[in-house]
Structure 1
Amino acid sequence: MMIRLIYFFITVIVSGFAQAGVTPWIPFELENGHIKVPATVAGLDSMAILDTGAQGNAINQNFIDHHKLPLAHNGNIHIKGMHNTERKKLYAKVDVNLFGIETKLSQLAGINLGDPRNSLLIGSGFFSQFVIQIDYPNSRMRMVTRDVIDVAKHENIKTQRHKASGLPIVQVEMAGKKVWLLLDTGSNGGVLIGRRLAKGLDLISPNDTQVTSQGVNALSEMRTTQLEELTFGPFVLSNVRLTYPEKGHKLSQFQQYSHASSAIKGKKVKGVVGFDVLKHFLVTLDYARGHMHLSVPEKL
């Protein structure tokens, strides 16, 4: 249903811009690093979060409980968060109005999205349909058809689709080492990596600040410090927030993809890059094909 919804939305919007194949700029809210757009769910006004790091769509269990919604429950699913994996309910035939298009969504996992004003988390089904431009400094976004722009020709940061999950991963450089990270608009931090890697890069100090991280399933104790430099495509950023697990806590890692019939393996993903890095850029992302271009827009 989500794919049909987005396809219809793009068809309707782009039809007025047939020659250009580009939607108008759509404003969004940035709250705690999350991209939010208005949505009506079960007749209630709310906000939907757009998340490149999510393989599917989800509904906020707090939203359901707060409004005491009698939504149909049609099974369960195991959701892998950043800190652990939990079994969650699946909801079906939920009335949704997103971008002015009314539909019913099914296979919505019930997860914790905090504030009950947040209703939905929209993942890969949305991003895969087109090239998306996210202008963080100006809090706006638009969709572009692939016949208008070939992002691969303009790519200025190494980007791929993770072979096992299909999610976008990018190569960065920190402390002299090149590392593959998940590109995650749903993460409000800077760079999140495992403790073992942080130790190997000599990035751990006893003076690092202890923080609590909220994943979709659970809380985890973490430590945070500052990266002196992060090379992100053609840009070098200073004093980027780096987070890693406290001793005795773990970060869920992507499994390295491999197939019995092939000697080719996927990239080892070591963590996540999020809002604290992305906030500087106009991100042009071809999610389905794994290509990205970064630029710094003028502030409107």
Structure 2
Amino acid sequence: MTRYLLLFSLFLSFKSFSAVTAWTDFMLDNGHIFLPVSIEGIESRAMLDSGAQINSINRAFVGKHNLTLDSARSVNIKGVFKVEKRRAYNNVKVDIFGTEFELDSLVEASLGHHSNGMLLGAGFFKNFIVQLDYSRSKIRLITRDTVDMGEIANVKAVSQKGSGMPIAEIHINGVALWLRIDTGNAGTILIDRRSASRAGLLEQVEGATTSFGANSSGVNEFATSKAVKFGPFEISDVKVSFPADGQKTNLESQYESAGTRIGGKRVVGLIGYDLLKDFIVTLDYKLGKLHIALPELE
């Protein structure tokens, strides 16, 4: 049986018929983006997570439907708070945007309720320019021969050396920081404690919350920054989270396979939903290019 790597077949179909897809509805659930999918013939939904290097299938979904899947080599996953070995599967049949293909190395993960069938990470994002209109809950895909992202990008961003993941520079209270662009982070901007200190946030702590990473949970404190500069926009009174004193994290390599050495710019946290939610976000994951715009008033 022919195996399609990640979303290669979807990419070829898209490339053959259109340079820009029609806008398609996505579901926004507590800051997470979901698309309707079919997994092994079962209707479900997939979360889009640009902060994940791997594609995952929900352990609860597999159990609910008593699926017997082809085993693959286990993978070590490094989350924000912990490293954990996970089982993986090959030849998993998936239908998205009306195209059926097979996924290999689909890693088992805890993705909440069994109705959340899977998570699509780098394997989805790197094949296209992905445009997300958060205000209208719409998504469309664009081929790179249609738009010159190097010309229109208005946020300082690059692909991180080693991981290949897109990172962007933002300024919090005037302090420049490199953060991962993470559509899977449904909360506030998350930075490490040293960066929070540099931005003057440790003296303004308002409270603490429990944060859930890929493998485990931890305690984060939060404070409100006076200003966050994101590309051409400056936003006032933005909430920023950071690990509580003594809380160990792996912020610089969340979802990365353990053992991979990362070089290049020092990544100190994650950009999430609270910063992205007001914008139309155009992301070229592969080239590390980003454009943001406010939606037009209707």
Q: TM-score, normalised by structure 2?
A: 0.91
Name the counterpart of 1:61: 59
Report the secondary structure of 1:196's partner residue.
helix
Report the secondary structure of 2:194's partner residue.
helix
1:214 aligns with 2:215: no
Name the counterpart of 2:277: 279
User: Which is worse superposed, 73-82 or 269-278?
Assistant: 73-82
Whole-Å separation in 2 of the counterparts to 1:250 and 1:122: 27
The total of aligned residue pairs comes to 288
C-alpha root-mean-square deviation of aligned residues, in Å? 1.9
Q: 1:70 to 1:299 in 2, by over 3 A?
A: farther
Q: 1:209 to 1:222 in 2, by over 3 A?
A: same
Whole-Å separation in 2 of the counterparts to 1:166 and 1:232: 21
- Contact 1:57-1:123 within 8 A present in 2 as well: yes
Name the counterpart of 1:101: 99
Name the counterpart of 2:9: 8
Name the counterpart of 1:137: 135
Letter in 1 for 2:184: G
* 1:246-265 equivalences in 2 (<5 Å): 246-254=244-252
Whole-Å separation in 2 of the counterparts to 1:197 and 1:297: 31
Q: CA deviation at 1:213?
A: 0.6
From 142, 151, 154, the equivalent of 1:153 is 151
Q: 1:2 to 1:149 in 2, by over 3 A?
A: farther
Q: CA deviation at 1:9?
A: 2.3
* 1:171-210 equivalences in 2 (<5 Å): 171-205=169-203, 207-210=205-208
- Unaligned ranges ≥5, structure 1: 256-264
Name the counterpart of 1:77: 75
Letter in 2 for 1:141: I
Name the counterpart of 1:33: 31
Name the counterpart of 1:259: none
Q: CA deviation at 1:226?
A: 1.6
- Unaligned ranges ≥5, structure 2: 254-262
1:240 aligns with 2:238: yes
- Contact 2:33-2:183 within 8 A present in 1 as well: yes
Q: Deviations over 1:204-248 (max 9, x none)?
A: 247521111111100111112222210000001122221111122
Q: 1:3 to 1:173 in 2, by over 3 A?
A: farther
Letter in 1 for 2:277: K
Whole-Å separation in 1 of the counterparts to 2:183 and 2:36: 17
Q: CA deviation at 1:2?
A: 8.8
Letter in 2 for 1:162: Q
From 111, 114, 120, the equivalent of 1:113 is 111
Q: CA deviation at 1:97?
A: 1.3
Whole-Å separation in 2 of the counterparts to 1:125 and 1:207: 38
Report the secondary structure of 2:184's partner residue.
coil
- Contact 1:193-1:251 within 8 A present in 2 as well: no
Q: CA deviation at 1:102?
A: 1.5
Letter in 2 for 1:280: D
Q: TM-score, normalised by structure 1?
A: 0.90
From 279, 289, 292, the equivalent of 1:291 is 289
- Contact 1:194-1:250 within 8 A present in 2 as well: no
Whole-Å separation in 2 of the counterparts to 1:5 and 1:105: 6
Letter in 2 for 1:72: D
